[in-house]
Chain A
Amino acid sequence: MPAVEPGKEAPVIRIFAIALVLGALVNAAALAAPLGDPTAVKSEDGKYFDKDGNPTYKIQADGTVDWYTYSGYRRYHSDCHVCHGPDGEGSSYAPALKNSLKSLDYNDFLGIVAAGRKNVNTAQESVMPAFGTNPNVMCYIDDIYIYLRARANDAIGRVRPEKREPKPEAFTKAEDACFGEKR
């Protein structure tokens, strides 16, 4: 399975990379490595990574969250919560992602969001769409992952993060590049 190097490629390129490795990702989901320690060991331009190089959150003692956790909170509650419920808590329609992220690793997560998922059984038909072409999701996929990872590890509660680190310049640059437009 080709490695996806977080934080090194422009997000828009990453979308294509994900598309290329999707088959492998989905097949590998069952063999996914353990989730690993979410502790942030390094930071690049306000974005934090764990010892395996996967994106993660950083919550300070006074409750201040890193920008990406906050951004993920916002994006989750725009594009995900209409099915998965507020705060990753699940709903009558779709599962609680704060629980799903306890058994899905970063690569599993990227694969499912980009390609979608079908879970059809005798009781119900659950279908998640493929968000691979949606810039409002894919340009912020690390942000959403980081937020849900924080929820899965009970690092933040259900309420909106009140205090946050400032928006990094690198974030705005990546956003412009990913959207393919400046404002």
Chain B
Amino acid sequence: MRKFLTSTVLSTAAVIAAGSAYANDELIKLSQDAKQWVMPTGNYANTRHSTLKQITADNVGKLQVAWTFSTGVLRGHEGAPLVIGDMMYLHGPFPNPVFALNLKDENKIVWKYEPKQDPNVIPVMCCDTVNRGLSYADGKIFLSQADTTLVALDAKTGNVVWSVKNGDPGKGETSTGAPMVMKDKVLVGISGGEFGVRGSVTAYDMKTGRQVWRAYSMGPDSDTLIDPQKTTNLGKPVGPNSGTNTWQGEQWKIGGGTTWGWYSYDPDLNLMYYGSGNPSTWNPKQRPGDNRWSMTIFARDVDTGQARWVYQMTPHDEWDYDGINEMILADQQIGGQTRKTLVHFDRNGLGYTLDRTNGELLVADKYDPKVNWTTGVDMNKSSQNYGRPAVVPQYSTEHNGEDVNSKNICPAALGSKDEQPAAYSPDTGLFYVPTNHVCMDYEPFRVRYTAGQPYVGATLSMYPPQGETNMGNFIAWDAKTGKIVWSDKEQFSVWSGALSTAGGVVFYGTLEGYLKAVDAKTGKELYKFKTPSGIIGNVMTYEQGGKQYVAVLSGVGGWAGIGLAAGLTDPTAGLGAVGGYAGLRNYTSLGGQLTVFALPN
């Protein structure tokens, strides 16, 4: 990380010297101050690593709750607050309140903003009314509301500076993701893959809210901002109409590929990275073809939106393995040389390492040994299947067809990991990954599209892998070799974003509500504290008044709260079996609270 930052600083300086002004100098500078947490992802590289080291593996056992704050909302709380200077900016799920707290003045509420939104947006948000956080730049706080309104608030007063509508909830378009500021633009995505929404990323001018560009996941080249010659896929030009020619008829118009995950940015390359979600519907038989560019890693030029390279991880998805999880940018030694890598833990159970300059595939390996739908990705560059996962027919819902229940597919539709972001420590060279350890039965069937209505087309049931009872693991991963270094079992899926610190401690939350601290080298548990509700938020850290704090949102919900509240059943237990596995509702209840920890004075 240090190496990476240094090179970033140097090249930034070089760019400025060359006269090409960086509109967000301020943000790059702020993100280098570990005392603050200025982006929803911690930094542009999405490492979620902090150089703060007052809290160490030796003293973390003495951690105490320093202060708490209630958002007043009882829904799934994802994301993490920002800390800019002495101020903390905290968001909540629908109705999306924003609080500005003065950390220097007993965390007093300086202002609160709560938008008026039509509650009819609530039921078109598949899997809870979550919101993954705010962004800051240019004296403004940016909030992407559930109803897709992107609003810029004056960071000092909470007054609305500008506001723009990014989508139409009447068509099932909603927003759950955090906006991200890159240069002078605010980037936002869209949710609604279960409503036949066609995904897009849109860049708005940070000063005015004017739309600068919009890039769809599928459609004509003019919509996808894909250049048939210049945009590459595994080193080769993609050719014309790549966003329509793997779809039947005009199905791409309701093709999914939504963009609700995390965005990373490499200022040196001027490229942003993100993944697209599942193709609509979940019934693969109804949409023949590879369904490009759903399930795809995109590298786009931030100024123009033009795609530099693309890589589709799961062509013709048959299991709902959205590709939206975060892209972590780290420079790593592979094959004796330093590579500018992008590391991505996909829902499909594969951990990918790519060269982020050109999209070359370096590593693709299972980060949960139970993953069974594929025998692996073809890494042979001269093969016509280069880069494609080999699908096991037994677990292929396309192969088995409509009205057939394909059994024991691992992972389940919620993936070996969902949006809950991993962390990377440059000190250990390891990635710390919250995972789901859940398998499923999946049966696709016929559905018809109606605008603004669910467009799903499959039924599924979930359960832990056969012979196991833990539904999650927290693992350390070596992305250079594609190997698990250590793995801690968790009773439930780990649905909280990880934080890595220079103190040699890694933090994460659990669905029961525990904040846990483990040794970065060994995974040994060093501390745990049960917060008032299950944790699906991301752990962050900041320093105030010479003291390091660690904070996390509690508030069970999301896909995890829906799928796991009642517990999972064991399909092999036969008729009448009840609650074969633990139900989350026996461990925690709804909530909405920030809990902040520090060492005793």
Chain A positions within 8 Å of B, measured between CB atoms, are 63, 73-79, 81-83, 85-87, 89-94, 96, 116, 118, 120, 123-129, 131, 133-137, 156-160, 162, 179, 181, 183
Contact = CB atoms under 8 A, between A and B. Distances in A.
Given A127-B120, A159-B577, A160-B571, A77 B459 contact: yes
Given A77-B460, A78-B458, A91-B565, A63 B575 contact: yes
A92 B567 CA distance: 12
A179 B571 CA distance: 32
Interface of B: 73-76, 94-95, 119-120, 122-124, 126-128, 194, 282, 405, 441, 443, 445-448, 450, 453-462, 556-557, 561-563, 565-571, 573-579, 584-585, 590
A92 B557 contact: yes
Contacts of A76: 459
A158 B567 CA distance: 10
Contact of A136 (B456, B573, B576, B585): B456
B573 A159 contact: yes
A151 to B, nearest CB: 12
Given A116-B123, A120-B119, A157 B566 contact: no
Contact of B441 (A83, A125, A131, A160): A160
Nearest to B127: A82
A90 B566 contact: yes
A159 B450 contact: no
A96 B585 CA distance: 12
Given A77-B460, A92-B76, A159-B575, A82 B565 contact: no
A124 B584 CA distance: 20
A156 B576 CA distance: 7
A158 B578 CA distance: 6
B565 A124 contact: no
A28 B124 CA distance: 27
B119 A129 contact: no
24 contacts: A74-B445, A77-B461, A78-B447, A78-B459, A81-B562, A82-B127, A82-B454, A85-B566, A86-B569, A90-B565, A91-B563, A92-B557, A92-B585, A92-B590, A93-B128, A93-B557, A93-B562, A124-B590, A129-B124, A133-B453, A135-B448, A136-B448, A136-B455, A181-B448
A129 B123 contact: yes
Contacts of A92: 75-76, 128, 556-557, 561-562, 565, 584-585, 590
Contact of B566 (A63, A86, A124): A86
Q: Which of B73, B120, B123, B455 has the most CB of A within 10 A?
A: B123
B566 to A, nearest CB: 3
A134 B461 contact: no
A162 B575 contact: yes
Contacts of A129: 120, 123-124, 453
Contacts of A137: 453-454
A125 B122 contact: yes
B446 A159 contact: no
A99 to B, nearest CB: 12
A89 B446 CA distance: 25
A8 to B, nearest CB: 24
A86 B457 contact: no
A137 B123 CA distance: 15
B456 to A, nearest CB: 5
A88 B571 CA distance: 16
Given A92-B561, A93-B128, A134-B453, A159 B571 contact: yes
Contacts of A162: 575
A159 B566 CA distance: 13
A89 B120 CA distance: 24
A179 B448 contact: yes
Contacts of B445: 74, 78
Q: Which of B120, B566, B574, B577 has the most CB of A within 10 A?
A: B566
A134 B123 CA distance: 14
A116 B119 CA distance: 12
Nearest to A129: B123
Given A92-B76, A92-B590, A93-B561, A157 B448 contact: no
Given A78-B447, A91-B562, A157 B459 contact: no
Contacts of B405: 160
Contact of A124 (B74, B194, B443, B454): B74
Contacts of B575: 63, 156-157, 159, 162
B74 to A, nearest CB: 5
A92 B462 CA distance: 17
A127 B590 contact: no
Contact of B561 (A63, A77, A91, A127): A91
Given A127-B120, A136-B448, A159 B574 contact: yes
Contacts of B74: 123-124
A127 B557 CA distance: 16
B122 A127 contact: yes
Given A78-B447, A133-B453, A86 B459 contact: no
Nearest to A83: B562
Contacts of B459: 73-78
Given A136-B448, A159-B576, A160-B405, 15 more contacts: A74-B443, A77-B460, A82-B126, A83-B562, A86-B462, A91-B562, A92-B565, A116-B123, A118-B119, A124-B74, A125-B122, A127-B123, A157-B576, A158-B578, A160-B571
Contact of B457 (A78, A87, A123, A183): A78
B122 A87 contact: no
Nearest to B461: A160
Contacts of B577: 157-159
A74 B75 CA distance: 27
B438 to A, nearest CB: 12
Contacts of B462: 86
Top 6 A-B residue pairs of the complex, sorted by shortest distance between their CB atoms: A92-B561, A89-B566, A77-B459, A129-B123, A134-B453, A91-B562
A137 B454 CA distance: 9
A81 to B, nearest CB: 8
Contact of B454 (A86, A91, A134): A134
Given A82-B454, A82-B562, A134-B453, A157 B120 contact: no
